[in-house]
A = this chain, B = another copy of it.
Amino acid sequence: MPSDPTIARLLIRCPDQPGIVGTTAGFLHTHGANITSLDQHASDFEGGTFFMRLEFHTPHVDLPATGLVKAFDDFVAKRFEMEYRITYGGDRKKAVLFASSADHALLELLWRAERQQLDCEIACVISNHDKLRKAVEGFDVPFHYVANHRGRRRAAEEQMLALCAGADLLVLARYMQILSGDFVARFPNRIINIHHSFLPAFVGADPYRQAWERGVKIVGATAHYVTADLDQGPIIAQGVADISHRQNVEAMKRLGQSVERDTLANAVQWHLEDRVVVDGTKTVVFR
């Protein structure tokens, strides 16, 4: 849903130690920010990493946005060695979507964005096929065909980098090309991919066929941040569906597409709502 412009979010990661919640909440209270939601997590009982997400009501805050950030930095963040992010409801994130020829995951995102169920602006769609142009343009979203085959990768990535300028999030909605390590490194924890299996089962190509050959009774999909290691990035969301001997590979794909699009859309929504923090190879998702 569209963010309430009177709400801001504070997302924190820091070494765990006593007093973080009390100090942070006290700071916000002192400055007239009323906390409307707070969730936190410590990775270990003692000595681990601490994660916290707060939402606060801004109308009575006694400082402008930049002033509040500066004060928070000076009086709280430095003391606790926090990495943090403050987002105001009015600032919509900018997302670029990538797809190949399958449309189910892409169209789900375009749909949800159009209905304001995803709080972002879709800057454009990039595809290595021209097939989905009409469907995308029907949503009044720019479509860019960028050929990306062996021997053209570098040129393609330069083109794509230009299109992604200013993007807060890249979503690989069944984009069937591998991005280079250099490209990925420019968007740390800001590229979300949907893998069409229940990772870590069935990494690599054609996972539905692998699943069918193994005779599993449940198929799944995994939304994760993209890292240099293929299919190894931190998992944000997973979904599953029951299958039986009656489904052949094609039927499994059809069923799986429904899981894929819901799983990806959930992950994207949680990212946009600043609910996801990366903890090494894992994620903390404040839902």
Contacts and interface: CB of A to CB of B under 8 A. Distances in A.
Interface of A: 1, 18-26, 28-30, 32, 34-42, 45, 57, 60, 107, 111, 117, 138, 198-202, 213-218, 220, 234-240, 244-246, 250-251, 254, 258, 262, 279, 281-285, 287
Contacts of A200: 201-202, 214, 216
Given A18-B32, A199-B214, 20 more contacts: A18-B34, A18-B57, A18-B60, A21-B38, A22-B35, A23-B29, A25-B26, A35-B40, A36-B42, A37-B40, A38-B39, A200-B201, A214-B235, A214-B282, A215-B235, A217-B236, A218-B220, A245-B279, A245-B283, A258-B262
A22 B18 contact: no
A282 to B, nearest CB: 3
A234 B215 contact: yes
Given A1-B250, A1-B254, A34 B19 contact: yes
Contacts of A138: 138
Given A21-B25, A21-B35, A107-B111, A216 B244 contact: no
Contact of A244 (B20, B25, B287): B287
Nearest to A233: B215
Nearest to A281: B215
Nearest to A200: B201
Nearest to A135: B138
Contacts of A41: 245-246
A281 B244 CA distance: 14
A45 to B, nearest CB: 8
Nearest to A40: B38
User: Taking each of A215, A245, A285, which has the highest tally of chain B beta carbons within 10 Å of its own beta carbon?
Assistant: A215
Contact of A22 (B25, B45, B238, B282): B25
30 contacts: A1-B250, A1-B251, A1-B254, A18-B29, A18-B57, A19-B34, A21-B29, A21-B38, A22-B28, A25-B26, A36-B42, A41-B245, A107-B111, A117-B254, A138-B138, A198-B201, A198-B218, A200-B202, A214-B281, A215-B281, A216-B235, A216-B238, A217-B235, A217-B238, A217-B285, A218-B238, A218-B239, A240-B240, A244-B285, A245-B285
Contacts of A117: 254
Contacts of A202: 200
A192 to B, nearest CB: 14
Nearest to A32: B18
